[in-house]
Amino acid sequence: MKISKKILSLVIISLISVSIFGCSKTKEDKIKSNSEKYNIYEIKDVKSSDQGITQTIEEVGVFNNMTDASKKYTICKDVLNNENKGKVTVVVKFKVENNNDFAITNYTSVRPFVTNTGEVGDLIEDGTYDVDIDAKQSSEGYAVFNLVKTKVDELNNLKMWWIVSHNNGTESYDDDYCNDNKFNIELK
């Protein structure tokens, strides 16, 4: 009987030790994977070309939080605040090319996008490129959005609207160009 009590005590102590160690390790693993969770997608063949301007979507980064997104992309410190930093962050990297023989002042307005889950992205930054683009030159930048309901692995595609305009190299507003481009971006 003494031997069975000792064996039973050893079994109970072993079970408690294993469960404490196992739970703490599982918790650490979850925190580590959650804080570093992101996907970067290289985008091919998503562009619009009209009136001498070519807009190309080059890359989409989807991050578990804005802090991790700011490690990969240069995100303005003004938008890294407590309200935004814990939200899923989507960064759309783009390139604007001026294929005209004259310099343009290019004004783009990235509108919120709609995800495959039906959520509308909350635009928090888009002015990250040079708006004055010389003839036959280009400028790269990105737009930053937050999502509240959609998780990193749930985002499969997004539909994005982007207004682009330029002044046709003149000072007259009468011949300015403006177009609303639509992009369907498949991520998976």
The pLDDT value recorded for residue 118 is 96
Q: 38-186: what CATH class? A: mainly beta
Mean pLDDT of all residues belonging to the chain: 78
User: What percentage of the chain carries pLDDT values higher than 70?
Assistant: 76
Domain positions in the chain are: 1-35, 38-186
pTM: 0.74
Rounded Cα distance between 88 and 171, Å, is 42
